[in-house]
Structures are given as C-alpha cells and as structure tokens.
C-alpha cells in the first residue's frame, strides 16, 4: 500500500475502503471520505488544499450560519475535486432478542446504552 509508483509496477493510485453511515460522517470534520490531505497520511487519498481549508474553517467557527455557508462552499468544491466515489452500500443483517431495547442503528453493532426490558 505504500508503493506510490505507476500501476504497472504495483503502485497504488486510489484507496478503496468503506465508510459507514454513522454519526461521524454527518459533518465535514468527521467524514473521512472527504479528507483531501494528499499522500502524507495514506497513499491514494485525494489532494485538495481548498477542501482541507474549508474543513478547518468549519471546525474553527461556532457560528451556525457561517458553518452552513462553509458547507455550501465545501459541497461545491467536492464536486470540483471529487475526492471519493461511492460504489455502493451494504446492510449488515442483525438480529436481537425482543427483550433488548435502545439499540443504536448503524452499519456496525454497537452496544452502548442497550437495555434489557
């Protein structure tokens, strides 16, 4: 995965992974699919200083209206740079006993707050 050479020499030019649809992905800072900090952290990630600048600006402000404007600009930039392409989705088949309550929805089983009836 660290080979940055051309594909015909075994190099990586993209990074395939999965991103679940859980809470961290609903805002610009937690959504790893829109990271665009280049080859430094992981080969294959997109490189866009503008996307990273907007993500940092969103995090630096507590003003909701400013965050909304930043998100609009970020969405426009994401269509320009296209740091990820969703190729599909899956659902994990899961079953629980009827006496369990407060189960959190999501792609992965999480047991925080689960109660027995």
- Say what the pLDDT of residue 112 is: 81
**1 domain-assigned:** no
Q: Output the pLDDT for position 117.
A: 82
Residues in the chain, pLDDT under 50: none
Q: What is the pLDDT of residue 24?
A: 64
Identify the pLDDT of residue 23. 58
Range of the domain at 98: 7-116
Q: Judge whether 4 and 12 are in contact, CB under 8 Å.
A: yes
Q: What's the pLDDT score for residue 111?
A: 78
Token pair in block for residue 33: 């699919």
Q: Per the domain annotation, does 103 fall within a domain?
A: yes
Query: Contact at 8 Å (CB) between 67 and 58?
Result: yes
> Quick check: is 23 in a domain?
yes
Total structural domains within the chain:
1
pLDDT of residue 21: 63
Q: What is the pLDDT of residue 74?
A: 97
């Amino acid at each position: 995965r660290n080979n940055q050479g051309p594909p015909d020499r075994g190099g990586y030019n993209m990074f395939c992974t999965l991103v679940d649809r859980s809470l961290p992905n609903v805002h610009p800072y937690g959504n790893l699919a829109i990271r665009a900090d280049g080859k430094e952290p992981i080969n294959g990630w997109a490189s866009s200083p503008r996307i990273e600048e907007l993500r940092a600006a969103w995090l630096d402000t507590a003003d909701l209206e400013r965050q909304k404007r930043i998100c609009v600009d970020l969405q426009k930039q994401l269509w320009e740079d296209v740091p990820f392409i969703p190729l599909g989705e899956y659902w994990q088949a899961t079953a629980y006993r009827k006496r369990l309550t407060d189960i959190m929805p999501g792609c992965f089983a999480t047991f925080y707050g689960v109660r027995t009836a």
